[in-house]
Amino acid sequence: MTDRRGKLIFSNEDVSKNGLEKKVLTITDLTSSLLEIIMYYLVLKDNIRAFVVCKAWRKAAEYVRVVEKHPWFITFPKHDDLTILIDPLERKRYTLNLPELAGTDVCYSKYGWLLMRRSNLVDMFFFNPYTLELINLPKCELSFQAIAFSSAPTSGTCAVIALRPFTRYSVRISICHPGAIEWITQDFSFSIGFDLYMHSDLVYANDHFYCFSSGGVLVDFDLSSCTMSHQAWNEHRCPYMHNDNDEWFNMLKRIYLAEQKGELFLMYTCSSEIPMVYKLVSSSWEEMSSILLLTA
């Protein structure tokens, strides 16, 4: 039942020394098992809203979320404050009102956190769409082509790394930590040419940041020692870029580097061509394309 203000209440009778007396229970008195049953029937956007109500609701909302579920897409329209969530397999679409993200772009996402940059290209911050927590970073007036972070910004060990190929034989790295007052920048040189424009995003694995270029060069930045190394595989230069066949010249090409459980995977795409996928095993890239086709 509800009271005159519409507040949900429950009536119960307690036996005391003085006899029967009524005790009013509110929805906050629900047991954890009942809360979990309620949360189980909520769609994702309502689960997220319930998550921020209180500690008990947060625990129940997090408990019923499906583990290992397929990923969703998140997009930010340019003309309003709505955030759009898209389930690609179920073909469902939901909207959230997150005014904190108005006029921003996603630079990187991991561990449930988004690394955002405002339209002025200087202000950067972390944002958690589940808890609505926001953590500012110092102003970033440096240009970069790839950026990533190592761990959740609340972990105490988070490092943000921005990369920009400065010349074909040098890379500029900028480092920042949540709570820092400025970015630290350092240039690194190497003997093997690195493609200035055709390369993957940064990927973090095992205390290292990696980036792979179309020339078959893997750049390796060791976070603990702040040193950089590189290795080249001529046999894994992007075939769509380095081939005498002109049919690929005007096609859209991309290089993707990904990490899964500490292992690195490389993928080349070119328009409607079949993606070429490799896995790094003992300093050698093993082709995974046939496995990809069988499991697609």
Q: Over 50: is that where the pLDDT of 6 sits? A: no
Q: Over 80: is that where the pLDDT of 77 sits? A: no
What is the mean predicted confidence (pLDDT) over 19-30?
62
Q: For the chain, what is the domain count?
A: 2
pLDDT number for residue 296: 43
Q: Over 70: is that where the pLDDT of 260 sits? A: yes
Same domain, yes or no: 89 and 228: no
Same domain, yes or no: 163 and 238: yes
CATH number of the CATH domain containing 221: 2.40.128
Chosen domain end from 45, 78, 102: 102
34-73 confidence digits (pLDDT tens): 777 787 777 777 888 878 788 888 888 877 776 556 677 7
Same domain, yes or no: 170 and 272: yes
Same domain, yes or no: 288 and 157: yes
Alpha carbon of residue 119 to chain centroid:
19
Same domain, yes or no: 163 and 226: yes
Q: What is the pTM of this model?
A: 0.70
Tell me if 44 is assigned to some domain: no
Same domain, yes or no: 79 and 207: no
One DSSP character per residue, 112-123 reads TEEEEEETTSS-
135-158 confidence digits (pLDDT tens): 999 998 888 899 999 999 999 899
103-147 confidence digits (pLDDT tens): 888 899 988 899 999 888 899 999 988 788 999 999 988 888 999
Tokens of 270: 């070119």
Same domain, yes or no: 98 and 192: no
CB-facing half-sphere around the CA of 98: CA atoms within 13 A:
27
CA angle 283, 236, 108 (to 5 degrees): 80
Q: Over 90: is that where the pLDDT of 195 sits? A: no
Same domain, yes or no: 278 and 159: yes
Query: In sequence order, what are the beta bridge partners of 11?
Result: 24
Percent of the chain exceeding pLDDT 90 equals 28
Between 41 and 165, the more confident residue is 165
Tell me if 265 is assigned to some domain: yes
Closest to 83 in 3D by CA, of 91, 72, 94, 69: 94
Tell me if 118 is assigned to some domain: no
pLDDT number for residue 15: 45
The torsion angles phi and psi of 241, rounded to 5 degrees, stand at -95, -35
Tell me if 1 is assigned to some domain: no
Tell me if 61 is assigned to some domain: no
Tell me if 194 is assigned to some domain: yes
Same domain, yes or no: 173 and 276: yes
Same domain, yes or no: 158 and 284: yes
Tokens of 125: 């911050």
Tell me if 14 is assigned to some domain: no
pLDDT number for residue 157: 92
From 47-61, 132-146, 209-223, 255-269, the region with the lowest mean pLDDT: 47-61
Same domain, yes or no: 177 and 243: yes
Cα 56 to Cα 23, 32, 61, distances in angstroms? 22, 7, 9
Q: Which domain holds residue 236?
A: 142-295
Listing from the earlier edge strand, what are the strands of the sheet with 227-232?
Answer: 203-205, 208-212, 217-222, 227-232
Tell me if 125 is assigned to some domain: no
Distance CA 107, CA 144 (A): 11
Same domain, yes or no: 156 and 278: yes
